[in-house]
Chain A
Amino acid sequence: DSGVTQTPKHLITATGQRVTLRCSPRSGDLSVYWYQQSLDQGLQFLIQYYNGEERAKGNILERFSAQQFPDLHSELNLSSLELGDSALYFCASSVGEQNYGYTFGSGTRLTVV
């Protein structure tokens, strides 16, 4: 157990629907990062939050949004889902903005049918 908790582990939904993925960082970690990993692909950075504020944005679609709450958990919202959104979505956390390492959660596997 890495200490980073992601729920749900698996999600199957239809095209056009909206889903919410949840991430609880390791205790004491203030930064949360979201990554998308499509089948046999690399890790694409989506967005980072630090202590409730957005810090960096990567290749995140306009249909996707995220936030980090006062208790530091984060949610990634995916709307108007398309077949191509099927992927593993990983959350990672680190202590601070300039902390070097971060730890990944076990991921949420999203399947859009």
Chain B
Amino acid sequence: GENVEQHPSTLSVQEGDSAVIKCTYSDSASNYFPWYKQELGKRPQLIIDIRSNVGEKKDQRIAVTLNKTAKHFSLHITETQPEDSAVYFCAARRALGANNLFFGTGTRLTVIP
């Protein structure tokens, strides 16, 4: 199956700074890479995703990059705000077979005002 590794496990940044979270995946056949944000006690919510035919995608302060050769993808948050504080999960989905998402272990982001 797919194995997704995520780093760092915790990240603290000053408000206004950028935050970067990195993930690697093992299955070269994976073709879909979403990022979810989970606030304390709440459900994970999709914030951005990228497909394997695209190298970068941006949505306001959030961007995701994908390097298929190296099998890694990253989440970039610019101009961080206190409300960005949450746990962020990356995930990968294989192109063939079962389409369940394999999640990374999560990154707890704290934005310090």
Contact = CB atoms under 8 A, between A and B. Distances in A.
Given A100-B51, A106-B43, A42 B99 contact: no
Contacts of A35: 103
Given A42-B103, A42-B104, A55-B98, A100 B93 contact: yes
Chain A binding surface SS class:
loop
A90 B105 contact: no
Which of A42, A48, A94, A104 has most B Cβ within 10 Å? Answer: A42
Interface in A39-53: 41-43, 45, 48
9 contacts: A33-B100, A33-B101, A45-B100, A98-B99, A100-B93, A101-B46, A101-B49, A104-B43, A104-B45
B44 interface: yes
B61 interface: no
A101 to B, nearest CB: 6
Contact of B49 (A41, A97, A100): A100
Interface residues of A, number: 25
A90 B100 contact: no
B42 A103 contact: no
Top-7 shortest CB links A-B: A56-B98, A104-B43, A43-B103, A42-B105, A100-B32, A106-B43, A48-B100
A33 B49 CA distance: 19
Contact of A43 (B32, B42, B44): B44
Contacts of B45: 2, 104
B100 A101 contact: no
Interface in B32-52: 32, 34, 36, 42-46, 49, 51
